[in-house]
Amino acid sequence: SAVISQKPSRDICQRGTSLTIQCQVDSQVTMMFWYRQQPGQSLTLIATANQGSEATYESGFVIDKFPISRPNLTFSTLTVSNMSPEDSSIYLCSVRPGTSEGTQYFGPGTRLLVL
Amino acid sequence: GDSVTQMEGPVTLSEEAFLTINCTYTATGYPSLFWYVQYPGEGLQLLLKATKADDKGSNKGFEATYRKETTSFHLEKGSVQVSDSAVYFCALSGGQGGKLIFGQGTELSVKP
């Protein structure tokens, strides 16, 4: 398994501003993912962030809005840019260890409210 | 494309009742199947998984069997507790890039 922490755990932001969310893992993993969970909804994959390559974004998500960094095998950041109230969601990072048979382990999430 | 369909919620049960949450999937190839649980205000925790047909995953009294013939992975528990109140997500992993595809989630509320 893997232990994942996220910062901040929650935030309230004004529209038009940006927030950077950090994800820290207790072990080295190649595959890391960022998800969004809108209120009362399931999880939607934003992007896959593998170390050593550019992030791969899912349909409907773009780099200008959600830039991602992956400087090493234990850390990543997701920035939510030029926020609007529609960005109010829980943002979760996850990792897939190489021996996990597809299992992903999730961080506790960052609860974002945009006013 | 691959997809997961879950029984709609919310589901409300009395303590010690039997629980079934239905999950069916559509996938090419042979996906791994998962149940995740999200307690109020928390992230997702892996509850159980199965990686091939006829495998049974189990944890904390919950069970699910990978049924290839019916493309199902229903979650069951013989006697639920108030502490089981949470949202349960069925998911599969099988495509390129290790993506997880989630069902819509089923909210379970257990009353004393």
> First CA to last CA across chain A, in angstroms?
36
Query: What is the structure's pLDDT at B64?
Result: 98
Confidence of residue A100 (pLDDT cuts 50, 70, 90): low
What pLDDT is recorded for position B7? 85
Mean pLDDT of chain B: 93
- Note whether B29 contacts A: Cβ–Cβ < 8 A: no
pLDDT at A98 over 80: no
What would the mean pLDDT of A14-23 be, rounded to a whole number? 98
Percent of chain A with pLDDT over 70: 98
The highest-confidence range among A70-74, B38-42, B60-64, by mean pLDDT, is B60-64
Above pLDDT 90, what percent of chain A?
Answer: 83
**A42, A48, A101: residue with CB nearest B104:** A42
- CB-CB under 8 Å, B51 with A42: no
CA-closest candidate to residue B93, choices B6, B30, B36: B30
Distance between CA A29 and CA A8 in Å, rounded?
21
How near does any CA of chain A get to the CA of B31, in Å? 9
- The answer to which of A68-77, A94-103, B64-73, B84-93 has the lowest mean pLDDT is A94-103
Closest CA to A25 of A59, A70, A67: A70
Integer Cα distance of B24 and A95 in angstroms? 25
- For chain A, how long is the longest CA-to-CA vector? 42
Q: Is a pLDDT exceeding 70 seen at residue B95?
A: no
Residue listed under structure tokens 């993912």: A33
Q: Residue B40 phi/psi, 5° resolution?
A: -50, 125
What digits encode the pLDDT tens for the residues B46-60?
999 999 999 999 999
Find, in chain B, the residue whose alpha carbon is nearest to that of A39.
B41
Tell me, yes or no, if B1 comes closer than 8 A to chain A by beta carbon: no
Q: Averaged over B97-106, what is the pLDDT?
A: 88
| pLDDT at site A70 | 94
Average pLDDT over residues B30-48: 93
pLDDT score, position B28: 84
- Could you tell me the two tokens for A43? 């999880």
- Nearest-Cα distance to chain A for B15, in Å, is 24
B49 vs A contacts (CB less than 8 Å): 101-103
pLDDT at B97 over 70: no
Query: Rounded mean pLDDT of chain A?
Result: 93
- Give the pLDDT band (50/70/90) at residue B98: confident
A41 to chain B: closest CA residue:
B104
CA distances for B94 relative to A101, B32, B53, angstroms: 10, 6, 13
Q: What is the DSSP string of chain B?
A: --EEEE--S-EEEETT--EEE-EEEE-SS--EEEEEEE-TTS-EEEEEEE-STT-EEEETTEEEE-BTTTTB--EEESS--GGG-EEEEEEEE-SGGG-EEE---EEEEEE-
Instruction: Give the SS3 label for residue A87.
Output: helix
Min Cα distance B24 → chain A (Å) is 16
Pairing of strands A19-25, A43-48: unpaired
B3 touches chain A (CB under 8 A): no
